[in-house]
Structures are given as structure tokens and as C-alpha cells.
Amino acid sequence: MLNDPAKKSDAEPVEVRCYFVRERNALLVRGDFSPIYTDFYLHLMQQKIRYEDGLDDWLKDGLAALALHLASRPRNESVAWTLSWQKPLQNLFVTGSNIHGNVTGRVFTKDVRERNENLFVSQVLREGEEPRQSMITVDQPNLFSVAETFYEQSEQRRARYFAHGEEDFVLVTAQPECDLEWLESLTDESIRTIDEVETLSLLEKREYRFDCGCSIEKIFPIIAGMNKVSLDEIFGGEETMAASCPRCGAHYTVTREALEAYIEQ
């Protein structure tokens, strides 16, 4: 799940607004993700991460889809989504926290486990509760469509994503006694004028940033759990080793001296 940031991020937040659509019994969540996308590409540039074959767009969609989903969830909830895609073999991972108001993610193209089918896995953590996990099979890599399928199969209710603009997206989810015929009739075009034909009541505003909160100090516990033989192997006789954050891909250099000091403490 998402790291707990030790300090506030300087990344610009995205304001996500939640509305209740009166007489339709639906929740509408909307956000313009330009700031998150800007910080996402800044992160890739700083870490010298390069995604090919449109994988950066794939990850951008995942960040937007997850943030809108988070905004519709309780404030004490953190969520991680993993899409395990087989052809080509790659995993998309996005995670976010309502407690800290942040989202992050990465794409894995190496050392990816082969499966018999494409899988979408959702992991949910609420404060004071045991983690929950659900898994579904999917047949297309579009993250918005995958999330809609997840709602239908795991959440047992209808949800639809729409493009209000190039980087401006909307999520509409069914609430009890929702007008499902109306929900199914919505299109990208009609969603752009929905406030002119429907009564929307603002429920709340939330903010999300592209930020992992990882640090070299949070990498140490992962490595320190290895035995001496394994540590000698990964250092390969050198005094330093390269490590990366499993959530955002940020690169770190771990020195043997610093790691030994951490283990002693």
C-alpha cells in the first residue's frame, strides 16, 4: 500500500469535487488531472524512467481512475490496484490514500509473473480493519473500462467513467434506487452539459497529489530483513547498491555502511 509521507509534498494538488445528482440517485465525481500529470512526468524525468509503447498514457489513466474512485470512498481508506496483463507481459500498479491525499504508481515490464489470464486485483485498507482483496478477470487494458468492470463484479453496482476534457474526467456511480436507464444513457457529450439539465448538489471537495512519500529510510527495512548471504549477493562485493521504490520506481543508492548502521539501531 501507499507509504506514509513524513513530510508534505510540494506537488500541486488536484481538486476533486463530489456531487449528488438529485432525482437520479447517483454520485458524480469530477477532477481535472493536469497538475497530477505534470508532476508525474516531472517524476519520470527526475528518475530517468522512460515508458515506451504508450505505457505512460496507460499509467495516467490508472491514476485518474483511482483518484476519482478514492474520492467516492471513506476518508480513512487506502486502495491499491494492480492490472496483470499477459500480452505483452506487463503489470500496471497504482495506489492512493484518502488519509494523505496522494496517488502514485508505476508499470512493470521485467520479471513479471506469467498467468493464464489477465487479472485485476484491488486491495483496500481501512484504519482499524483487516485488509480486503478482490480479483476479477478482464479482457481489455483500458483502465477506465477495467474499473467499470470492477464496480459491476466486485462492488455489485454500476459505475461509468467519462471524458469531460482531455485531462478532465468524471465518474458517475449508482446509489440505492439509482435511475439506471438514465445512467446507461450518459455519453461524453451529455456529461459536459449535465449541470444544465440535472440538479447537482455539492457534497464535498477533496485534494490529491502525485506523491509516493518514499525515501531511503523506508527502503532500509525491506533490505535489512535479508540474511547476510543474500546481502552479500546483492552488494556483489561493492560498498553500494542500487534500489528502487516498488510503488513509484524512484531510484536510491544504498551504502553498506548506512545499512549496517540501521541494522545495529
Q: How confident is the model at residue 9 (pLDDT cuts 50, 70, 90)?
A: low
Question: Residue ranges per domain, the chain?
Answer: 14-210, 216-264
Strands 168-174 vs 200-210: parallel, antiparallel or unpaired? unpaired
Residue type, 47: Q
For residue range 30-67, list pLDDT tens digits in order: 999 999 999 999 999 999 999 988 999 999 999 999 99
CA 76 to chain centroid, in Å, comes to 16
The domain over range 14-210 is classified in CATH as 3.40.50.2000: no
Taking the domain 216-264, which CATH number applies?
3.90.1280.10
- HSE-CB of 116 using CA atoms within 13 angstroms: 0
pTM: 0.91
Q: What percent of the chain has pLDDT over 90?
A: 77
C-alpha cell at 245: 521504490
